[in-house]
Amino acid sequence: MKDYQREFIEFAIEMGVLKFGQFTLKSGRISPYFFNAGLFNTGESLAKIGKFYAAALEDGTKDVEYDVLFGPAYKGIPLVSSTAVAMSNIYKKDVPFCFNRKEKKDHGEGGTIVGTELTSDKKVIIVDDVITAGTAIREAVEIIQVQNKAKLVGVLIALDRQEKGKDTDSSAIQQVEKEFNIPVICIVKLEHVIEYLESIGGWEESVKQIREYRKQYGV
């Protein structure tokens, strides 16, 4: 585990974004932990999360060329914005970014894309919080590749739950990678969370519950 990954987990727990207990997911599964990126809701927390996304982007794109970062509405909008700022401040890379409107604007500049233009010569990385079922990613692919003819080359998210989907032995991330032939880059995986909790001690019961959950649903 790298320093930025350890710091991210520590920060997520501190902010209450990563919680442990019993949580009912949309799938109906009872999860021993829950991740809610919507709680990165202050200027300071958004600045910090941008640094972690930027670190993961730098770490995970050594073999991936990209031109634009795309944030799917709505959670992806602040995430892609803070990532672009961090890329400039920390890595001195002025990375263009954009996001979509939920409804097409028929006046002013019009269209559904806000920010840098998506064109056929642009290689795009989606920036989002998590991939649960892959629905939001497929909607973003429609916008990027079908509507605007740009090329999707990767996805950047905060947490890989490493969890199989419904009626499949593959995770949503594995399905997205296979379907679109792209890498999904994450700041941390669930195995990193377990490693962190074990290293600091005092979380034995949570670790036990997560390991039991992984035996049933993990990939």
Q: Convert the pLDDT of each residue in 104-144 to its tens digit.
A: 655 445 468 999 999 999 999 999 998 877 888 899 999 99
Q: Name the residue with tokens 């989606």.
A: 126
For residue 107, what pLDDT is reported? Answer: 45
The one-letter code for the residue type at 109 is E
User: Which of 64, 181, 176 minimizes the C-alpha distance to 128?
Assistant: 176
The pair of structure tokens assigned to 60 is 């995970």
Q: Of all residues in the chain, what percent carry a pLDDT higher than 90? A: 80
pTM over 0.95: no
For residue 104, what pLDDT is reported? Answer: 62
pLDDT digits (tens, 9 = 90+) for 67-93: 999 999 988 999 999 999 999 999 999
Q: Which CATH number applies to 3-217?
A: 3.40.50.2020
Q: Which residues are catalytic?
A: 105, 107
For residue 207, what pLDDT is reported? Answer: 97
Across 160-183, average pLDDT: 91
pLDDT class for 211, splitting at 50, 70, 90? very high
Cα–Cα distance for residue pair 212/218, rounded to 1 Å:
9
The pair of structure tokens assigned to 164 is 């199989």
CB-based contact 76:105 (threshold 8 Å): no
For residue 108, what pLDDT is reported? Answer: 47
For residue 34, what pLDDT is reported? Answer: 95
CB-based contact 168:47 (threshold 8 Å): no
